[in-house]
Structure 1
Amino acid sequence: MKKILLVAVVGLLFASSCSGEKKPKTKNANAPKAVAAEGIKHITKAEYLTLVWNYEKNPSTFVFEGKLPVIVDFYATWCGPCKRVAPILEKLSKKYAGKINIYKVDVDAERDLAASHGIQSIPTMYFYPKTGQPQVVQGALGEEQLEQAIQQVLLSK
């Protein structure tokens, strides 16, 4: 049922996601590179390898490195749907503090990490449970859909 739900969500929202169109990279001195006030952490490839999955050490097998289930949001600063999802993720990071971690990866700043995951459309969100396989969704999910994915993929026992 979980897989059917996620496949349906991906299908419905695929059309609303940003294309993988590349725009010139601009440096923004104010871009967050640490923990945001709401508990969302912007991470680099090096942090991803220690907090989520060291795919360089375990390329063919998923081995979760974290202590709490994780959502990783692959986004870009210029992406409209990514901007619409951001406040929802901030709200959920407060609601589920201590139960899940939410990380953001800027695909323009972390091209290697995005390429290693085959990111071609943004936003793309990976849901990493403590046990089991990760699930991926492309497109901007609404709050209700994200809540459902958190409950079914990350917090179900």
Structure 2
Amino acid sequence: MAVEINESNFEAEVLQADIPVLVDFWASWCGPCRSIAPILDQLSEEYRGKAKICKVNVDMNQSLARQYQVMSIPNLVFFKNGKKVDQVVGFTAKTELAKKLDALL
């Protein structure tokens, strides 16, 4: 299951993580966000211990959304060593997300 992240724990969970992190910027009213959620949960299980999958609700964490220039959702941002290294906007196939995660390992 993807970890819920907010403004108070983003730095500890994402920027200070010792493994790559995929952050899903989403909202409950977003259809594509709901469609990609099960894929992210599967990836969370498959990459357990190798990469972390996190979710940030943009409605409740607007400053994080602004900081990472999230204009459309779902917006998947990949972090490694505390730095943003990749980004995908919109529904994306599991195989494509897995390729991006594998490239960061």
Give the TM-score of the pair, scaled to structure 2.
Answer: 0.92
Match of 1:150 among 92, 101, 104: 101
Which residue pairs with 2:44 in the alignment?
93
Q: Report the number of matched residues.
A: 105
Identity %: 36
The DSSP-based 3-state class of the residue aligned with 2:78 is strand
Does the 8 Å CA contact 2:5/2:13 hold for their aligned counterparts? no
Match status 1:121 vs 2:72: yes
The DSSP-based 3-state class of the residue aligned with 1:98 is coil
Q: For residues 131 and 124 of structure 1, what CA distance do their matches in structure 2 show?
A: 18
Structure 1 residues 52-63: aligned runs within 5 Å: 52-53=14-15
AA matched with 2:10: Y
Give the TM-score of the pair, scaled to structure 1.
Answer: 0.63
AA matched with 2:8: A
Larger Rg, first or second structure (1 or 2): 1
Which segments of 5 or more consecutive residues in structure 2 lack a partner in the other structure?
A: none
Which residue pairs with 1:50 in the alignment?
12
AA matched with 1:45: E
The DSSP-based 3-state class of the residue aligned with 1:52 is helix
AA matched with 2:87: V
After superposing the two structures, state which structure 1 stretch, 98-107 or 132-141, moved more.
132-141
Q: For residues 82 and 41 of structure 2, what CA distance do their matches in structure 1 show?
A: 24
Does the 8 Å CA contact 2:77/2:84 hold for their aligned counterparts? no
Q: For residues 106 and 100 of structure 1, what CA distance do their matches in structure 2 show?
A: 20
Identify which of structures 1 and 2 has the higher relative contact order when contacts are C-alpha pairs closer than 8 Å and 6+ apart. 2
Match status 1:136 vs 2:49: no
CA RMSD across the alignment: 1.5
1:119 deviates by 0.7
Higher strand fraction (1 or 2)? 2
